[in-house]
Chain A
C-alpha cells in the first residue's frame, strides 16, 4: 500500500506496477533488509539517520512538509484517542462486538433470565408452602391451647368462672353425711354442672367423699359445715334439679339441715388441683 521507500527522483515509479517489489523486501528477514538499507545509506555521503532525526526535531521549522505531516498526525492521534476512549468505555465489550456475537450474547442472557425466573418461581412456591405450614402449625398450637384449657377445667388444674349457683348446707345438728353430699354432687353433675368446688376443694372425676367423725372428708381434706358448694353451670337447670320434690334439698331438710340455693351470674371456681400423670392408663388415641 504505502512505503516511503521511493526517493525523490523515483517517486513517479510508485505509480508503476513495479511498486509491487516494494513489498518483496518484507519477505526478506529484517536483519538482511536493514543491512541493505544501511549499505545504501553508507554509500550516500553526509548525514546519518540519527542526525536527520535530530535535525527534524530541533529546531522546529515551519515547512510545508512539516505542516502536512502535522495535520495527518493530528488526524491519527485524534482517531487513536477516540478509539481508545470508546474502547475503554463501560460497554466497550458490546460496542466492539459483531452482530452474531451480539445475537449469541442476547440468547445467553435470555437463557439465563429464563433459568433465574424458574428458580424464582420455585423459591416463591417453597416460601408459600413454608408460610402455609407455619400458619397451620400456629393454628394447631392455638387449638391445642384451647383444648388444654377446656380439659384443665374438667381436670381441675385451672380456675374457672361463669354463671352458676351457690348452695350452702348449714348442718347444725351434724347429721349430714358424705353420701348426702355425694348425692348433691351427682345431682349437680346430672344437671350439667361444669365445675364444682366444696369449701375450697375442687370436685373432679376422681373425687371421693368419706365420713370423718362429725364432718366429711373430700379427697382426704376434712371440711366442716357449713358446706358451701360453688357450681358453674346453667343456673336455670341446676336450681330446679336440687329443688325437685324428693330431691337433694328435701332430703337434706329432712335431716334438719338448712339449704340455701342462690343463683349468680358470676361464680368463680378457683380451687385448683395438681395435674397427675396416670401411672398405668395411657392414651390410646394416636
Chain B
C-alpha cells in the first residue's frame, strides 16, 4: 500500500513541480523510466509469486535504470543511439508484457 502511495505521490509531485529536465539527463530519462517500469512489473510478479525480496528489487531497479542509461549513452557515442534506444525499448517492452501476463494469471486466473 505504501508502495502504491509512493508511486501516486511521485506522479503528483512530478506534475505539480514540473522541473526543467537537465539537458544532460534528457536523452536518458525516457529509457530509464521504461527500464524502471520493467523492474516494477518484475517486482509485482515476484510478489504475486511469493518470492519478492526488497533487496533484489532495489538492485534490479537501480541496475535496470543505470544499464538502460548506459546503453543509450554508448549508442549516442557510437552513432547508433536511435536504433539502440529502440532496441532497448523493444526488449523491455517484451519483458513487461510477459510479466504482465504472469500478473494477469495470478490476479484474474486467466
Contacts and interface: CB of A to CB of B under 8 A. Distances in A.
Nearest to A26: B98
Contact of B107 (A49, A67, A81, A82): A49
B7 A77 contact: yes
A62 B2 contact: yes
A58 B45 CA distance: 18
A22 B103 CA distance: 17
A49 B107 CA distance: 7
A6 B53 contact: yes
A66 B37 CA distance: 17
Interface string B6-20: 111111111100110
A25 to B, nearest CB: 8
A116 to B, nearest CB: 31
The number of chain B residues touching the other chain, given as a range, is 35 or more
A5 to B, nearest CB: 7
A23 to B, nearest CB: 9
B1 interface: yes
Contacts of B43: 4, 69
Residue from B18, B29, B94, B106 whose CB has the most chain A CB atoms within 10 Å: B106
Contacts, number: 196
A67 B51 CA distance: 18
A157 B5 CA distance: 102
Contact of A65 (B4, B54, B103): B54
A40 B102 CA distance: 13
A83 B107 CA distance: 30
Contacts of B94: 26
A283 B107 CA distance: 106
A65 to B, nearest CB: 4
Interface residues of A, number: 59
Contact of B46 (A4, A48, A70, A82): A4
A281 interface: no
Given A52-B48, A98-B82, A8 B53 contact: yes
Interface stretch (A29-37, A137-145, A169-177, A219-227): A29-37
B61 A2 contact: yes
B37 to A, nearest CB: 7
A34 B49 CA distance: 11
Interface string B34-45: 011111101101
A52 B50 contact: yes
Given A4-B43, A81-B10, 15 more contacts: A2-B63, A4-B52, A4-B53, A5-B49, A8-B53, A30-B101, A33-B98, A34-B102, A49-B106, A50-B109, A69-B3, A70-B5, A74-B9, A76-B40, A82-B21
Interface of A: 1-8, 11, 14, 25-26, 30-31, 33-34, 37-38, 40-41, 44, 47-50, 52-53, 56-62, 64-86, 95, 98
